C-alpha cells in the first residue's frame, strides 16, 4: 500500500504547513479520528482536554455583529448573515490601504494586471460562488478549479497572496480570501480608470474546489446571446448584467483560439469592420505558425484603460469574441450596448451595480466556511461541525494527522511506516 502511505504523508505535510501559520488558539485544532466515524476529538495544548470535552468551535473568526455605519446589501443573502459595507472597519482598518498599495505595485510591474484581477473574481464567483474556491490548490486526490484546462489567461494569484500575507501580519485570521478577491478586483477597476466600487464584505472561504465545475459554469466565448442569458441566469444574473459585465472586456485580452470559430476557410471575413477583421486574422495566423497562441486585446483602442471603449469597439464592428460581437447584433442587447458606447457614466453606474451583484453569488457568511490563513490551502476542518466536509484532504480517518506544533509529536495515524 505504498500509495496510501505516500498520500497519508503528503496530507500530513500539507496540514503541518497550514498549522504553522495559526495563532496559539488555532494551532492545534486537528485531532485524530476515533472509532469508525469522522468525528474529530480536540487536541488541546498545553493541557490535553478530557476525551469527553466538547469540541470548541474551530477556525472561526470573531462573531459577526452588525457594525456601526454599515447597512445591508440587498435581498440576495437573506436568511443568513448579510454582507456589510465597512465589515472590516474595526477588525482590520488597514484592509483597503493594503489592497490599494499591493494592486498599485502589481500594476506598476504589469499594466495588464487589472484584467487578471477582475477575471479572478469573476471566475471565482461564477464557479461555486464567491468563496475563493478558485484559489485552492489541487490535492493528491482532488483536481481543483484552478487546474481545469480552461484556466488559460487566469493568473496573478501572486497579488492575492501578497495581500493576504500582509493582512495576516496586520490582522491575522480576519480577512477572508474571498473578500480579498473582491477588493482586489474593485481596486483594479478603479486604478485602471474605472468607477470606484464600494463593496460589501463578510464573505467566508469555502472548503471545496472542483475542476469540473469550472467547465460547466463559465460562459463560453462562442455563445450567442441566448446562451449568455442562460449562463448568467444560472447564477442569478440577468440580461443587463450580461452586457454590463461583458464591459469588463474593455481591459481584457483573449487567446486567438477562443475566437477561431469566427474564421473559417470558406466563410467571408466575419467582422463588420473588414479591414480590422483581416488584420486580426493575419495577426493570429502568424502567431500560430510558431506554436504560440497569441493574445488579442478585446478593446484594441485603449487596452489598459477601464472605459467604455469596448462598447465603442462593438458598435464599430470590432467585437472580437463571438460573445462580444453578438451583443451589438442581437436586438435584445443592441440598445444597451449603444447607450454604453455613448455614455460612459451610464456604463460605470451599471457596472458598480452588476459587480456588486456578482459579488453576492452564493456567498458563505456567518459561521459558514472558514477564514483561510493561506489562500491556496484549506485549513483543517472540524468534522464535528462539518461532518461531510473533509472528503479530499483526509480520505479516511487513519490519514488524519497531528501537527508538529501540538503537544503530541507529529504523526499520522495508521498507514504511516
Ligand atoms: C492550469 O491547469 C494546468 C493543469 O490542467 C496546470 O498545470 C497549470 O498550472 C494551470 N495554470 C494556472 C495558471 O493555474
Ligand atoms: C437586471 O437586474 C437589475 C437589478 O440588479 C435591474 O435593475 C434590471 O432592470 C434588470 N434587467 C433586466 C433586463 O431584467
Ligand atoms: C479609437 O479611438 C479613436 C480616438 O478616440 C476614435 O476616434 C475611434 O473611433 C476609436 N476606434 C474604435 C474602433 O473604437
| Chain segment 256-276, per-residue pLDDT in tens | 888 988 887 777 788 999 999
In a domain? residue 350 = yes
Lowest model confidence (mean pLDDT) among 88-97, 157-166, 292-301:
292-301
Q: Residue 71 — very low, low, confident or very high, per pLDDT cuts 50/70/90?
A: very low
Question: Looking at the CA of 305, which ligand is closest?
Answer: 3
In a domain? residue 16 = yes
The answer to whether residues 347 and 384 belong to one domain is no
Question: Looking at the CA of 209, which ligand is closest?
Answer: 1
The answer to whether residues 395 and 307 belong to one domain is no
Query: Who wins on pLDDT, 338 or 148?
Result: 338
Question: Looking at the CA of 352, which ligand is closest?
Answer: 2
Report yes or no: 312 and 341 within 8 Å, Cβ to Cβ.
yes
The answer to whether residues 346 and 388 belong to one domain is no
Could you confirm whether 123 is annotated as catalytic? yes
The phi and psi torsions of 383 (rounded to 5 degrees) equal -70, -15
Report the separation in Å between the CA atom of 147 and the middle of ligand 1, taken as the mean of its atom positions.
Answer: 4
Q: Is the CB of 293 under 6 A from ligand 1?
A: no
Q: Is the CB of 357 under 6 A from ligand 2?
A: yes
In a domain? residue 68 = no
Ligand 2: which residue has its CA nearest to atom 2?
238
Where is the domain boundary, 187, 215, 243? 215
The answer to whether residues 178 and 148 belong to one domain is yes
Q: What is the mean pLDDT of residues 375-404?
A: 56
Residue-level pLDDT at 292:
64
The answer to whether residues 240 and 177 belong to one domain is no
The answer to whether residues 172 and 240 belong to one domain is no
Q: Is the CB of 154 under 6 A from ligand 1?
A: yes
Residue-level pLDDT at 287:
60
Q: What CA–CA distance (Å, rounded) separates 303 from 29?
A: 48
84 — alpha (psi -120 to 50), left (phi > 0) or beta?
A: beta
Residue 210: which CATH number?
1.10.520.10
Provide the domain limits for residue 318. 218-357
Residue 238: which CATH number?
1.10.420.10
Q: Is the CB of 238 under 6 A from ligand 2?
A: yes
Q: What is the mean pLDDT of residues 19-24?
A: 22
In a domain? residue 66 = no
Atom of ligand 2 nearest to the CA of 354: 5
The answer to whether residues 168 and 127 belong to one domain is yes
The answer to whether residues 26 and 107 belong to one domain is no
Q: Which residues line ligand 3 (CB under 6 A)?
A: 301, 309, 312-313, 316, 318
Residue-level pLDDT at 338:
98
Lowest model confidence (mean pLDDT) among 37-51, 71-85, 96-110:
37-51
In a domain? residue 374 = no
The answer to whether residues 100 and 171 belong to one domain is yes
Using one digit for the tens of pLDDT, what is the confidence trace for 326-370?
A: 999 999 999 999 999 999 999 999 999 999 999 999 999 988 899
Report the separation in Å between the CA atom of 253 and the middle of ligand 2, taken as the mean of its atom positions.
Answer: 27
Ligand 2: which residue has its CA nearest to atom 9?
240
Q: Which of 32, 71, 123, 196 is catalytic?
A: 123
Structural domains in the chain (count):
3
Report the separation in Å between the CA atom of 109 and the middle of ligand 2, taken as the mean of its atom positions.
Answer: 37
Q: Is the CB of 149 under 6 A from ligand 1?
A: yes
Using one digit for the tens of pLDDT, what is the confidence trace for 95-116?
A: 999 999 999 999 999 999 999 9
Task: Please enumerate, by residue number, every residue annotated as part of a binding site for substrate.
Answer: 219
State how far the alpha carbon of 110 is from the alpha carbons of 46, 54, 55, 310, in Å: 48, 51, 47, 21
Report the separation in Å between the CA atom of 382 and the middle of ligand 1, taken as the mean of its atom positions.
Answer: 30
Where is the domain boundary, 155, 190, 215? 215
Q: Is the CB of 151 under 6 A from ligand 1?
A: yes
Residue by residue, DSSP assigns 352-386 as HHHHHHHTTTT---TTSSB--SBTTBPPPP-TTTS
Residue-level pLDDT at 281:
87
> Which residues does residue 142 pair with via DSSP β-bridges, in sequence order?
139
Q: What CA–CA distance (Å, rounded) separates 255 from 287?
A: 10
In a domain? residue 70 = no
Please list, in sequence order, all residues whose beta carbon lies within 8 angstroms of the beta carbon of residue 68, skipping any fewer than 6 positions away. none
Report the separation in Å between the CA atom of 241 and the middle of ligand 2, taken as the mean of its atom positions.
Answer: 7
Ligand 1: which residue has its CA nearest to atom 3?
147
Atom of ligand 1 nearest to the CA of 146: 14
Atom of ligand 3 nearest to the CA of 299: 14
Using one digit for the tens of pLDDT, what is the confidence trace for 173-199?
A: 999 999 999 999 999 999 999 999 999
Enter the DSSP assignment of 414.
Answer: S
Closest CA to 392 of 208, 147, 214: 208
Residue-level pLDDT at 339:
98
Report yes or no: 411 and 401 within 8 Å, Cβ to Cβ.
yes
Among 44-48, 71-75, 313-317, the range with the most confident prediction by mean pLDDT is 313-317
Task: Please enumerate, by residue number, every residue annotated as part of a binding site.
Answer: 124, 127, 129, 131, 133, 145, 219, 249-250, 299, 302, 307
The answer to whether residues 350 and 235 belong to one domain is yes
Q: What CA–CA distance (Å, rounded) separates 339 from 1?
A: 65
Q: Is the pLDDT of residue 1 over 90?
A: no
The answer to whether residues 90 and 41 belong to one domain is no
In a domain? residue 368 = no
Q: Residue 139 — very low, low, confident or very high, per pLDDT cuts 50/70/90?
A: confident
Where is the domain boundary, 164, 196, 215? 215
Question: Looking at the CA of 116, which ligand is closest?
Answer: 1
Report the separation in Å between the CA atom of 126 and the middle of ligand 2, taken as the mean of its atom positions.
Answer: 18
Residue-averaged pLDDT of the chain:
76
The answer to whether residues 182 and 232 belong to one domain is no
Amino acid at each position: 500500500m505504498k500509495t496510501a502511505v505516500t498520500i497519508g504523508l503528503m496530507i500530513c505535510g500539507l496540514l503541518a504547513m497550514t498549522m504553522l501559520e495559526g495563532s496559539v488558539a488555532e494551532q492545534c485544532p486537528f485531532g485524530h479520528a476515533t472509532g469508525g466515524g469522522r468525528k474529530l476529538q480536540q487536541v488541546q495544548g498545553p493541557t490535553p482536554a478530557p476525551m469527553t470535552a466538547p469540541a470548541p468551535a474551530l477556525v472561526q473568526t470573531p462573531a459577526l455583529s452588525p457594525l456601526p455605519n454599515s447597512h445591508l446589501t440587498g435581498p440576495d443573502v437573506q436568511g443568513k448573515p448579510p454582507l456589510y459595507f465597512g465589515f472590516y472597519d474595526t477588525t482590520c482598518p488597514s484592509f483597503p490601504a493594503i489592497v490599494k498599495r499591493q494592486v498599485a505595485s502589481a500594476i506598476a510591474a504589469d499594466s495588464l494586471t487589472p484584467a487578471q484581477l477582475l477575471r479572478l473574481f469573476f471566475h471565482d464567483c461564477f464557479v461555486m460562488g464567491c468563496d475563493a474556491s478558485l484559489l485552492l490548490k489541487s490535492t493528491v486526490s482532488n483536481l481543483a478549479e484552478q487546474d481545469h484546462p480552461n484556466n488559460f489567461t487566469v493568473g496573478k494569484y501572486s497579488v492575492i497572496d501578497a495581500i493576504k500575507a500582509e493582512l495576516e501580519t496586520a490582522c491575522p485570521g480576519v480577512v477572508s480570501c474571498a473578500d480579498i478577491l473582491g477588493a482586489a478586483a474593485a481596486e483594479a477597476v478603479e486604478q485602471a480608470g474605472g468607477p470606484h466600487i464600494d463593496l460589501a464584505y463578510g464573505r467566508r472561504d469555502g472548503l471545496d474546489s472542483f475542476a469540473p465545475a469550472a467547465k460547466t459554469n463559465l460562459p463560453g466565448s462562442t455563445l450567442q446571446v441566448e446562451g449568455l442569458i442562460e449562463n448568467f441566469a444560472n447564477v442569478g444574473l440577468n440580461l443587463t448584467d450580461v452586457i454590463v459585465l461583458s464591459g469588463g472586456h474593455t481591459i481584457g485580452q483573449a487567446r486567438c483560439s477562443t475566437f477561431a470559430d469566427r474564421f473559417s476557410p470558406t466563410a467571408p471575413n466575419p467582422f463588420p469592420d473588414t479591414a480590422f477583421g483581416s488584420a486580426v486574422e493575419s495577426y493570429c495566423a502568424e502567431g500560430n505558425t510558431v506554436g504560440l497562441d497569441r493574445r488579442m486585446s478585446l478593446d484594441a483602442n485603449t487596452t489598459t484603460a477601464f472605459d467604455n471603449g469596448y462598447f465603442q469597439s462593438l458598435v464599430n464592428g470590432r467585437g472580437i469574441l463571438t460573445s462580444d460581437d453578438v451583443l451589438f447584433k442581437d436586438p435584445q442587447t443592441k440598445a444597451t450596448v449603444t447607450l454604453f458606447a455613448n455614455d460612459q457614466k451610464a456604463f460605470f453606474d451599471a457596472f458598480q451595480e452588476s459587480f456588486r451583484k456578482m459579488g453576492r453569488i452564493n456567498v458563505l457568511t456567518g459561521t459558514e466556511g472558514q477564514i483561510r490563513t493561506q489562500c491556496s490551502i484549506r485549513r483543517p476542518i472540524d468534522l464535528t461541525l462539518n461532518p461531510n466536509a473533509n472528503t479530499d484532504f483526509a480520505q479516511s480517518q487513519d490519514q488524519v494527522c497531528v501537527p508538529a506544533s501540538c503537544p503530541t509529536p507529529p504523526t499520522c495515524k495508521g498507514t504511516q511506516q
